[in-house]
Chains A and B, each alone.
Chain A
Amino acid sequence: MVTPDKERAAEQAVPHSFKKKRGDNYFMEQKKIFSEPVKYDLTFAREIYRLENGSYIKQCMNCGLCTVSCATRDVMEYPPRQLFNLIKLGKKEEVLTSNTFWSCTSCCTCKARCPRGIPIIDVMHDLKKYAIEYGYTDYPQAAFYKAFWTEMSSRGKMFEGGMTARYFLTRGLDEIVKAMDMKDVGISMLKHGRMPLLPPKKIKGLGGLKKIISKAQELDRKEAAR
């Protein structure tokens, strides 16, 4: 029988080389936010509330279940709950430059557990989109996301080779150097026939798909304007 204790123990059984001293106490330690007391300026929050899933954030009751559940809480600058609170505080810069939503792996744990039914991963997606729109694209994930979408929308299917190439093109040489130790992975994938060098055929209905996409975005814009 797997007990919650065991589960917890298993989740914590890690010598976290990667672990940063962050988490819920983050504010106590650093960042300019401390230099003066916060106000609760709702201008930014109201903007976020207007996103597709944004208004759900209002429902957060600060229980913290998302934070303890999050698969990537150790690398997140602000766990989900705190991110939502930052929004409430009106800390736009901190929110949009944080790695929180980029670190989210869409594991759905928080969404499944949130007692207030907040679709947290969808909020994370909204924030990614919002950040990209406003040019907050410093995190590698932003490039990755964009590469993925471009690849997908230009072909109707995903081609990893193409996406990876696009990703490295935007991220620059540095990233390739860092990724060098991954060449083993790439080579073994190639060896095992799991990395086709040629992209899949475009789908036949690509034209239609593109029309659907632009129509959908047009509808979205219309709704947002309202």
Chain B
Amino acid sequence: MEKKIAVYICTGCGIGDALDIDALSKVAKGEFKVPICKTDGQLCGPEGVALIKQDIENDGVDTVVIAGCSARVNYDVFKFGSDKIVERVNLREQVIWCHTADDEDTQMLAEDYMRMGLVKQKNMNVPEPYHVESFSRNIMVLGGGLTGLTAALESAKAGYSTILVEKEAELGGYVGKMYKQVPMKPPFTDLEENCIPNLVKAVEDAGVKIYKSATVENTAGAPGMFDVTIKQDDGTVQERVGAIVLATGAKPYEADKLGHLGFGKFPNVITQSMFEEMAVAGTPEASKVAFIQCAGSRDQEHLPYCSAACCIESIKQALYVKEKNDEANVYVYYKDIRSNGQYEHFYMKAQQEGVVFVKGDVTEITEEDGKLTIEADDKTMGTTSLADEFDYVVLANGMVPTAALGDLMEEESTTDEAAAACDEPKASTPPIIKANLLNLVYRQGPELPALKYGFPDSHYICFPYETRRTGIYAAGVVRAPMDMLSAVEDGAGAAMKAIQCVEVTEKGEAVHPRSGDMSFPEFNMNRCTQCKRCTEECPFGAINEDEKGNPLPNPSRCRRCGTCMGACPERIISFKNYSVPMVGNMVKAIEMPEEDEEKPRILIFACDNDAIPALDMAGINHMQYNSWVRIIPLRCLGSLNLVWINDAMGRGFDGVLLMGCKHGDDYQCHFMKGSELAEIRLSKISETLDRLGLESERVRATTVSIMDYDKIPAMLDEFAADLEELGPNPMKDFQ
């Protein structure tokens, strides 16, 4: 069906003063023959919106192109129903606020953006949501410790049928076996009774379906339709659930490896959990006890990371000793006391109770007549210390996530011909540890991809619970080392995420970060060569494959990043409103001045998540940069298809710049691997460019975060200056 297009140019916010609006209208009316093209002094005002609505009503307009402010603002104002296409041409943040008013080049820029917007809408269709069959709204929580119980309770309280799976015979996990717990409420100074019994009762009362002594044999499917096979002694059960919270916790670090601290040598050198057991049985009468912090943690030979909870756990146990015997001498040997947040009060409380904190490294532990002696380097005094007569030495032996316990999955060697024929370099596959927790029936492996130290990969800053398997949310100490207060918050947070997931999946929308997006990748299978690019590169394991190697997409697992689209050498993957031809045509819509006009052109592919906001911010702050640039937003740099760069260079662009998020271990990429993949692809194209006699420096990738907005002008101007040195793209002549 032919689209009914209308273009609205806003002249407010100074746009009318800075640009020649008539000329701009001519682009729409003349070049593109758009039937309706109107201007308004304030399009976002009630009259402006009414004007658009009127045309929709009276003239059956279904495609609205608004030339004015950035799509990042007023999106709620310009909302005309999901059956309409709304395209925004950013004349404000990216044109008039950062380029000279009343200027030939600024005007050319605005007109190009108008052309790009019009071409874009031509290549777009209204997305139809994907609906899961036999959809389930149930939430499954894996692990019945503090985090899991909290998650299950929150989910049940919110009205979702909840299933809890615990591998031990009793609920409660590590915390359940404690004598007392660290404070969880203000003033954060006093020991508290163990909260687990009450929590278990609340979970039972809330009607959570509980499987004890149970493990997950396998997990198949996708959000809204996970089929989980649960194994108990007496056989297996299958449950269909919509989303999963992984809260399988951590294990104490193996104390047997801590022989240098006397463990295994002297019976009274014990671990935190052993001390906890003793306390449950009745804290031993002791007149001198030492706690040794970071026993194994923050140690390159053992656990390189901080286990986060052991400082306050030792403080708690020190108070057990004081509780029993006020006169007891209690020492804590530490590197740094990491009593985060409110636990600073707890630390101070222990100090006030007379627990002595010694900043120092323990060098040796010896024993005589059952009493222990600790030799240490006292860091604040710069001396060695020798304290003796200890009844017990307790090692704060840290924690290892259950996700890290298992063998690393072997990378399968590709013998596939089609794959071998595809000569692009490959991104590294993420490490997957066979930890026997989820046993996913995914082509990409049975567990969650890990980032570092075996903790599941997640976008740590922006959405920590989202793992790289959509619909599965990691929480508590399996996700990152943390204290109890954080674990409770995590449990609740992950439960909310799981709920959000089933809700949006039911509507056919994407989860974070493209919330609300209803488009999903569609495959034109006749042309698929089974190269496996898409199945391998999808950061979220959304694409399985059949026996013949054909991709089998799972749209509800998909985050709609477009990485598969960028990866596919045959260019057979596209979205209803985002495709390789769409962007390609936008590139082609940009007018290319003749070489002698001395107006270079720079094409920028900027990631929607951080780079575009940063560019907008630069505009908001009225920072000026050269007006040779033409910016095309991408869902993620991962969706970058190399053909666009070919197109651009062929059309005579003097340079192409990719702006995406930081990658590496501390990546910022909202789709985890997108920006890294884009750079890998880019490394490929530079050879080709060189072969064509085009300097590969003309095509570059850079990383920006939203905080870098103030560096953007310099970044762009520098690139322009470099290009000027290289001279114009020789391909211009062939146009």
Residues of A within 8 A of B (CB): 24-25, 27-28, 33-34, 36-40, 42, 49, 55, 58-62, 81-82, 85-86, 88-89, 116
Binds A, one of B196-204, B352-360, B572-580: B352-360
Q: A37-B375, A40-B387, A62-B359 are in contact. Are A81 and B380 (CB under 8 A)?
A: yes
Is A27 within 8 A of B356, CB to CB?
no
* CB atoms of A116 and B382 under 8 A apart: no
> CB within 8 A of B348: which of A27, A39, A59?
A59
Residues of B within 8 A of A59 (CB): 348, 351-352
How close is B615's CB to chain A, nearest CB, in angstroms?
A: 32
Which residues B309-346 have CB closer than 8 A to chain A?
329, 331, 337
| Nearest CB of B to A172, in Å | 36
Cβ contacts under 8 Å, A36 to chain B: 386
- B385 touching A62 by the CB < 8 A rule? no
Task: Please report the C-alpha to C-alpha distance between residue A38 and residue B348 in the assembled complex, in whole angstroms.
Answer: 24
Asked whether, in the complex, the Cβ of A27 is within 8 Å of the Cβ of B381, the reply is yes
The 9 A-B pairs of least Cβ separation, nearest first, read A37-B386, A37-B384, A27-B382, A38-B385, A58-B351, A28-B382, A85-B380, A59-B351, A40-B387
A-B CB contact pairs (8 Å), 12 listed: A28-B382, A36-B386, A37-B375, A37-B385, A38-B383, A38-B384, A40-B329, A40-B331, A42-B354, A59-B351, A61-B337, A88-B356
Given contacts A39-B386, A40-B358, contact A85 B352 (CB under 8 A): no
A44 to B641, CA, bound (A): 74
Contact residues in B for A33 (Cβ distance below 8 Å): 383
Report chain A residues within 8 Å CB of B710. Answer: none
Chain A residues contacting B357 (CB-CB under 8 Å) are 61-62
> Which of chain A's residues have a CB closer than 8 A to the CB of B348?
59, 116
Which positions 363-412 of chain B face chain A at CB distance < 8 Å? Answer: 375, 378, 380-388
A-chain residues with CB within 8 Å of residue B347 when the two chains form the complex: 61
Q: How far is the CB of A203 from chain B (nearest CB, A)?
A: 41
Distance in Å: Cβ of B173 to nearest Cβ of chain A = 32
Q: Are B388 and A82 in contact (CB under 8 A)?
A: no
Set of chain B residues within 8 Å of A88, measured between Cβ atoms: 356
A88 to B331, CA, bound (A): 11
CA distance A36 to B375 in the complex (A): 12
For the A-B complex with A40-B387, A42-B329, A58-B354 known, give 5 more contacts whose Cβ atoms are closer than 8 Å. A27-B382, A37-B383, A37-B384, A82-B381, A89-B381
Contact A40 B380 (CB under 8 A): no
Complex Cα gap A69–B1 (Å):
76
B468-516 contacts to A (CB < 8 Å) = none
CA distance A37 to B378 in the complex (A): 10
CB pair A38 B354 closer than 8 Å? no
Tell me the complex Cα distance, A21–B78, Å: 72
For A81, the chain B residues whose CB sits under 8 A away are 380
Alpha-carbon separation in the docked complex, A223 to B329 (Å): 26
Contacts of A86 in B (CB 8 A): 381
Bound together, the chains give a CA A222 to CA B354 distance in angstroms of 24
Instruction: For the complex formed, measure the closest distance between the CB of B44 and the CB atoms of chain A, giving whole angstroms.
Output: 41
- B352:A55 contact, CB within 8 angstroms: yes
A42 to B329, alpha carbons, bound, how many Å? Answer: 8
The distance in angstroms between the C-alpha atoms of A24 and B380, with both chains bound, is 8
Determine the residue in chain A with the shortest Cβ distance to B377.
A37
Say whether B383 contacts A27, CB under 8 Å. Answer: yes
Q: Which residues of A contact B380 (CB under 8 A)?
A: 62, 81-82, 85
How far apart are the CA atoms of A40 and B384 in the complex, in Å?
11
B356 near A40 with CB under 8 A, answer yes
B584 to chain A minimum Cβ distance, whole angstroms, is: 53
Within 8 A of A (CB), among B38-92: none
Closest chain B CB from A82 CB (angstroms): 7
Provide the bound-state CA to CA distance between A62 and B354, in Å. 15
Closest Cβ neighbor of A49 among chain B residues: B354
Whole-angstrom distance between the Cβ of B315 and the nearest chain A Cβ: 12
Cβ–Cβ contact B381 & A58, under 8 A: no
Cross-chain contact A39 with B382 (CB below 8 angstroms): no
Determine if A40 and B385 form an interchain contact, defined as CB atoms under 8 angstroms apart: yes
Query: Could you tell me the distance in whole angstroms from the C-beta of B85 to the nearest C-beta in chain A?
Result: 53
